[in-house]
Amino acid sequence: MDKKVLLDSHKRISPYIHNTPVLTSRLINKIVGAEVYFKTENFQRAGAFKIRGATNAILQLSDEQRAKGVVTHSSGNFAQAVSLAAESLGVTAHIVMPESAPKVKKNGVLEYGGIIHECESTLEARQATADRIAKETGAVFLHPSNDMDVIIGQGTATMELLAEQPDLNMLFCPIGGGGLIAGSALAAKYFGGNCKVIAGEPFEADDAYRSMLSGKIEGNETVNTIADGLKTNLGDKNFPIIKELVSKIVRVKEDEIIAAMKLVWERMKIIIEPSSAVAVAALIHESRRDSDFFSGKKIGVIISGGNVDLGQLPF
């Protein structure tokens, strides 16, 4: 693969996505001791970065495949993204969602014309239900994070950030299923010079951290985290990219995630979801661990989404 794959993807999806703003916060710069640039994918269509990968993947399908529709499983953001991308392209979208998915995300899927199929809140149930629908309808399965067309599409957010701030020293990004961080790491490799990629992950769902230590994909026994978008596992397509290109995974506690979320809401006046706050929390955690670590540095942060159930706020 080379940078042309990312450039072609960006050109392909540009008519269907927003080039989201890059924002700064004087207070957060002061807290961290560096210049921090936030790529605000909470302002993206469907409220999260995932419309990028969903659109790229559907656009790569043949007319015959599109006619039979697509199916995916997701706790929310990819569900909404596939629904909206499919609606924009005239494609039927079957969405498998766990019963525990936030109501705001289920409502979003319905608003965008997606057909919801509920299942138990386990990865096994999600995949089994998606497989059944694919078999019954002929719909093409789109994996939320372990599909190269999806991964490449997600990387376009970092491409846009680096086009605006080409001399970033580091990029912080949340890690869950691994699609965003893998795409971001590829974009940083081809467009970011010496930009290091650092992942933020909840202690309560730290499978990626343990996977990096063991060298193989690990699972989670519990996923008791407020960051509902980060409860999924890495895949065989994104993990090799992550192993090669991600410098570090920083684990953060639930109170750190909530504090980071509240800080951004209060001081930057933007709505971010807990999964996005994990990347901010990781940045703040590292700055407190070593107060000189970020001195004189320029740092990017991917704010992955802003889909929050306002009836279930943690503060």
Sheet of 298-303, strands arranged across: 22-23, 35-40, 298-303, 170-174, 196-202, 246-252
Which residues are part of the catalytic machinery? 50, 75
What is the per-residue burial (b if ≥16 Cβ within 10 Å, else e) of 181-197?
bbbbbbbbbbbbeebbb
Rounded CA-CA distance 42/182 in Å is 19
Tell me, what amino acid is at 64? E
Region at 76 (left for phi over 0; alpha for psi -120 to 50; beta for the rest) = left
Taking CA atoms, 217 is separated from 50, 78, 173, 247, in Å, by: 23, 22, 19, 17
* Residues with Cβ within 8 Å of residue 61, at least 6 apart in sequence: 70, 140
Tokens 């979208």 belong to residue: 93
